[in-house]
Amino acid sequence: MGAVGKGVGKGIGAGWGLLARGVGGVARAGSGRRRPSNRRTGFDEFDDHDLYNDDSYDGQDDDVEVAAEYDDPDLGADPPRRRRAGERHAQRGRASATGDAGGHTHRRDGVALGLLALAVLIAAGVWFGAAGPAGAFITALMRAIVGSLAVLIPVALVATAIVLMRRPPNPERRGRYIGAALLIVLPLLGLIHLVAGSPTDLDGRSSAGGFLGFAVGTPLTAGATAWVSVPILLLCMAFGVLVISGRTVRDVLDAVRTYLGLTAGVDDWDTDDELPWDAEVDLVEDPDSYDRDDLGSDDRFGASSTRRGRPVADPGYSPDPYDNYPPDLNAESPRRARRSRRPAPVSAGDVLASATTESFGDDATTDPFVDEVTEPLGEPPAPRPARNRSTARASADTATSTRATPPVATPPVPAPTLVADDADEPFTVEPADGDYRLPPTTLLIEGDPPKQGSSSNEDMIDRVTGVLEQFKIDAAVTGYTRGPTVTRYEVELGPGVKVEKITALQRNIAYAVATDNVRLLAPIPGKSAVGIEVPNSDREMVRLADVLTAPSTRKDGHPLVIGLGKDIEGDFVSANLAKMPHLLVAGSTGSGKSSFVNSMLVSLLTRATPEQVRMILIDPKMVELTPYEGIPHLITPIITQPKKAAAALAWLVEEMEQRYQDMKASRVRHIDDFNAKVRSGEITTPLGSERVYQPYPYIVAIVDELADLMMTAPRDVEDAIVRITQKARAAGIHLVLATQRPSVDVVTGLIKTNVPSRLAFATSSLTDSRVILDQPGAEKLIGMGDGLFLPMGANKPIRMQGAFITDEEISAVVDYAKEQAEPEYTEGVTAAKAGDKKDIDSDIGNDLDDLLQAIELVVSSQFGSTSMLQRKLRVGFAKAGRLMDLMETRGVVGPSEGSKAREVLVKPEDLAGVIASITGGGDQDGDTAPE
């Protein structure tokens, strides 16, 4: 035992001795760095070579030897001797730095391991409650100080320990990091305290923000409300994040602008904040940050020499390594000393290289204050986070440098061809042809100013609050947002109240507000509140003129932008058909579907010329789209017969394939790129061809009633629609499908899959809402333009009031468009192809009569059973099964479900259309001539 105690004592004594020597070395090194520097600046960290007793040292003071070498009168005349002296000194300096860093590294490792041990103890108590009495005391103490944030203390300690073990010490940044951490943690604790309801007792503070959160949040709430305190705390946290990251608000804005691709249009003033002399002023005012990190690094003569490359066209560079050491920190700045020196002539290649590549070096001789500067100022070896430079910034620097350099004999560089300008031409509202003028929006009627609120809204708040109090639910109505049709009341729940308690009261709330069209939104997207949407007793009308003239609509110059209406928050809603890229519209009679179609057509007429957008209008009802007959945008007269509609959709498929062939030959991926090449002359007519390439216009095909087409020729129509919606986006062809009956036999699964954007007006049932939106909600709409818009990629639909337009406004816009140009119809759009339709499909063979009887039997009885076919048709099991398979391939019955009868997908009223599609017949009035 005595030997063990003696050994432990020796170990403790050695540890304390090592710690004492380390502290002394740090103090001596600090005092050495504070000495006025001379030509040997850069070797101050090697002053204490004999700090530890190392057998590799010969007992001589290295400083004396180096001083002698530096005081040699022949120093400048004997470069090899100087180089050998520098190499010997570098070797001894590396050995000394290794020995000096030993105690410091061990001390940091000891602190890091201690933090890890403390993290384990706190984690055992806070996370698992298994740390014993000491851990319980520490846990209680932590919770009393920082509250619920105590669960993150082990993570913070582990992170700090990792930083101590992996990174070298940096005393200059320590204070900044500590201050930034306090700026983040203290406001966060204050926020937690405010969110928890500002508790005052010890248990409440322990579950909230602790004593620190109480100390931060209580003064703020006492002097101001929570609506003021929360933004202040958030701003403090944001400032702490900026400080700890070394960024500025300008850096963040530049990064966001670069990520969004907005750097190409930056004005010249934006580059003035990053001129080279700004970096120079920072270096002169803060000399301690210059090369301070490199002074303590072990690879002073290795990695740092490769990290800091020689600047391009530097006339002051010397191949002697002694002339390229870091300058004296107390001496005059080398850049400031060379301010009056004129730079050497720089070639065009050097100018481009200096404009696109930043040189970070100590031997940069370019003067940032001279007008003839050709290189951007280098960044010091210990850089602050650099701001991303845009392409426009590099181009501006290049242009400035080229003007500043003396004229040199270089061949002229042709200006690059910018295709982007031509590619943007289809996206402008103004037509390329001056003969055609767009109908002005002054032809449309403007709406009344929106209402901000009324006494009925306050009455509704009282009624909803009464329901909550009646059922003893800890919740309160905190505000409302009034839209043109409905008002959304925001209800915030108390602690521990389930959202289901509010949603279960939907019928009671509807009873209290005296309406059955109450819609609950739990929660409101982006808010911690439940939304109760109640119809307004005084509805407002949304005019299309207000939507088209709104700033959110006018800022997008694409010709396919259409006005939709106004959402529940009072913001105007518009959409781009090119981004949808196809739209499915559904709604029962009187829901506002026809008004939306009219608003969409008028939007296109007021924003696009016939050279930009062409249309195919399919109107099986024969009266909905009649006012638009004769507009110059039409490819063919308005189609009213289902057979011709199917032929027009087939023509669209051929047009799509032709466009893809041209895009493939031109090696482009979108019709806009193809049009840009045509306008710029990059695409020429091949030799021997008489074809003249013209820019392709967008094509918008509008089907006013899809159900009529699906009843007459379901297979042909569905196949064409599916092919168009799958591939036509890049070809500039877009479909708008409208129907009053969104059932599964009209809006099939293939159509729904390929039409991602949906617009649902009031539907008659929950099933129809699920078909169009894949979720309930449309059955709760109140009609007359009240709709749910679900754009592509959105999870929640947007409730909006559709824009309204009168017949007089439609006539005024259409007449104006007709006065500008005559329609130019394309031949063969509605002509049925000769070989497209067969009398009998090849898989039917000689069983046509039996198949027709089976279809008539199954559809009339709405019972699809193989055994029934055996009995009724007196056929065997094999033939009955084959007939059932033929009916399944033609969409008459569903797939087999074992012993159960198959589902019949065709209604009795659609029987004639199905038989006509199988036999190759159809409407006798559907000739093959174009309309």
Is residue 786 domain-shared with residue 861, that is, in the same domain? no
Query: Do residue 799 and residue 685 come from a single domain?
Result: yes
Give me the torsion for CA of 812, 817, 820, 821, rounded to 10°: -140
Residues 507-530 have a mean pLDDT of 88
Of the three residues 384, 404, 424, the one that is the final residue of a domain is: 404
Q: What is the distance between the alpha carbons of residues 805 and 485, in angstroms, rounded to a whole number? A: 17
Radius of gyration of the chain (CA): 40
pLDDT, average across residues 252-270: 64
pLDDT tens digit sequence for 723-776? 999 999 999 999 999 998 888 888 888 888 889 999 999 998 889 899 999 888
* 927 vs 568 pLDDT, higher one: 568
Cα 281 to Cα 335: distance, rounded to the nearest angstrom: 11
- Calculate mean pLDDT across residues 298-319: 39
CA–CA gap between residue 563 and residue 801 (Å, rounded): 11
Are 90 and 297 in contact by the 8 Å Cβ rule? The answer is no
Q: How does the average pLDDT of the chain come out, rounded?
A: 72
- By C-alpha distance, which of 844, 846, 870, 847 is closest to 857? 870
Same domain, 852 and 801: no
Kindly compute the dihedral angle of the four CA atoms of residues 425, 427, 432, 436, in this order, to the nearest 10 degrees: 180
Residue 55 in this model has a pLDDT that exceeds 80: no
Q: Where does residue 877 rank: exposed (0-12), middle (13-18), buried (19+ CB within 10 A)?
A: exposed
Q: Which of 803, 820, 837 is the last residue of a domain?
A: 820
Looking at the fold, whether 568 and 707 belong to one and the same domain comes out as yes
**pLDDT value at position 219?**
82
The pLDDT assigned to 273 comes to: 42
In a domain, 222, yes or no: no
Q: Which of 519, 533, 437 is nearest to 489 (CA)?
A: 533
Is residue 531 in some structural domain?
A: yes
Mean pLDDT on 247-275: 63
Q: How far apart are CA 265 and CA 442, in angstroms?
A: 32
Between 112-121, 601-610, 684-693, the lowest mean confidence (pLDDT) is in: 684-693
- The percentage of residues in the chain with a pLDDT greater than 70, rounded to a whole number, is 66
- Give residues with Cβ within 8 angstroms of 153, minimum separation 6: 119, 122, 126, 142, 146
pLDDT band (50, 70, 90) for residue 313: very low
Angle at 887 between CA 884 and CA 889, to 5 degrees: 110
Task: Give domain status of residue 839, yes or no.
Answer: no
Rank 73-87, 216-230, 330-344, 779-793 by mean pLDDT and report only the highest: 779-793
Instruction: Give 330 or 704, the one with higher predicted confidence.
Output: 704
Q: What is the pLDDT of residue 169?
A: 67
pLDDT at 10: 52
pLDDT tens profile 554-568: 998 899 999 999 998
Rounded to an integer, the average pLDDT of 883-903 is: 86
Is residue 157 domain-shared with residue 291, that is, in the same domain? no
The reply, when asked if residue 860 is annotated as ligand binding, is no
Residue 297 inside a domain? The answer is: yes
Same domain, 898 and 776: no
pLDDT at 388: 38
* Most confident of the following: 29-43, 340-354, 893-907, 915-929: 893-907
Residue 390 among known ligand-binding residues: no
- CA-CA distances (angstroms) from residue 727 to 199, 261, 296? 60, 27, 62
Is 593 one of the annotated binding-site residues?
Answer: yes
* Amino acid 21: pLDDT: 54
What's the mean pLDDT in 127-142? 76
305 known ligand binder: no
What is the per-residue DSSP string for 702-761?
A: EES-HHHHHHH-HHHHHHHHHHHHHHTTTTTEEEEEEES---TTTS-HHHHHH--EEEE-
Which is more confident, 822 or 376? 822
Q: Is 286 among the domain residues?
A: yes
Whether residues 633 and 652 fall in one domain = yes
The model's confidence at residue 257, banded by pLDDT at 50, 70 and 90, is confident
Q: Is the pLDDT of residue 49 over 50?
A: no
Tell me, yes or no, whether 352 and 461 share the same domain.
no
Asked if residue 196 is part of any domain, the answer here is no
Q: Is the pLDDT of residue 838 over 80?
A: no
pLDDT, average across residues 860-875: 89
Q: Is residue 236 part of a domain?
A: no
Is 378 marked within a binding site? Answer: no
Judge if the upstream peptide bond of residue 321 is cis by omega within 30 degrees of 0: no
Mean pLDDT of 708-737: 89
54 and 162 in a single domain? The answer is yes
- The answer to whether the annotation marks 590 as part of a ligand binding site is yes
Strand 757-760 versus strand 786-790 pairing type: antiparallel
Whether residue 589 is annotated as binding a ligand: the answer is yes
Please answer whether residues 478 and 492 qualify as being in contact, where contact means their C-beta atoms are separated by less than 8 angstroms.
yes
Q: 698: helix, coil or strand? A: strand
Least confident of 33-47, 346-360, 627-641: 346-360
Count other C-beta atoms under 10 Å from residue 54's C-beta: 12
Q: Stretch 58-82: mean pLDDT, rounded? A: 42
CA 809, distance to chain mean position in Å, is 38
Task: For residue 237, give every residue at least 6 positions away whose Cβ sits within 8 Å of its Cβ, in sequence order, or none.
Answer: 183, 184, 187, 188, 191
Report the alpha-carbon distance of residue 722 to residue 147 in Å, rounded: 58
Write the DSSP symbol of residue 474: -
Give yes or no for a contact between 643 and 713, defined as CB atoms under 8 angstroms apart.
yes
Residue 523 is predicted with a pLDDT of 85
Instruction: Please compute the mean of the pLDDT values over residues 9-24 and round it to a whole number.
Output: 47
pLDDT value of residue 103: 53
Quote the pLDDT of residue 920.
63
Host domain of residue 642: 544-820
User: For residue 191, what pLDDT is reported?
Assistant: 82
Among 102-106, 280-284, 442-446, the least confident range: 280-284
Predicted confidence band of residue 47 (pLDDT cuts 50, 70, 90): very low
Q: Are residues 661 and 556 in the same domain?
A: yes
The pair phi, psi for residue 760, each rounded to 5°, is: -115, 125
Q: Of 514, 535, 556, which residue sits at a domain end?
A: 535
Task: Report d(CA 452, CA 450) in Å as an integer.
Answer: 6
Percent of the chain scoring above 90 in pLDDT: 25
Of 742, 726, 744, the C-alpha closest to 734 is 726
Is the pLDDT assigned to residue 610 strictly greater than 70? yes
Residues 261 and 341 in one domain: yes
Lowest mean pLDDT among 78-87, 355-364, 511-520, 694-703: 355-364
CATH number for the domain including 906? Answer: 1.10.10.10
Closest among 375, 345, 349, 351 to 363, alpha carbons compared: 375
Q: Could you tell me the two tokens for 35?
A: 């000495």
Whether pLDDT at 419 is above 70: no
Q: Is the pLDDT of residue 294 over 50?
A: no
pLDDT band, residue 833 (cuts 50/70/90): low
Q: Residue 152 — pLDDT band, cuts 50, 70, 90?
A: confident
What's the CATH code of the domain at 504? 3.30.980.40
Mean pLDDT along residues 218-235: 80
pLDDT of residue 924: 38
210 is a domain residue: no
Between 134 and 20, whose confidence is greater? Answer: 134
Element (H, E) at 66: helix 62-70
Q: What is the pLDDT of residue 133?
A: 78
Mean predicted confidence (pLDDT) in 783-805: 91
Q: Which residue has the higher pLDDT, 363 or 712?
A: 712
Nearest to 20, CA basis, from 51, 49, 50, 56: 51
Mean pLDDT, rounded, for 270-298: 41
State mean pLDDT over 448-473.
87
Query: Which one has a higher pLDDT value, 503 or 279?
Result: 503
- In this structure, the answer to whether residues 63 and 130 fall within a common structural domain is yes
Residue 597 has pLDDT above 80, yes or no: yes
Confirm or deny that 37 is annotated as ligand binding: no
- Name the pLDDT band for 888 (thresholds 50, 70, 90): confident
Domain count, the chain: 5
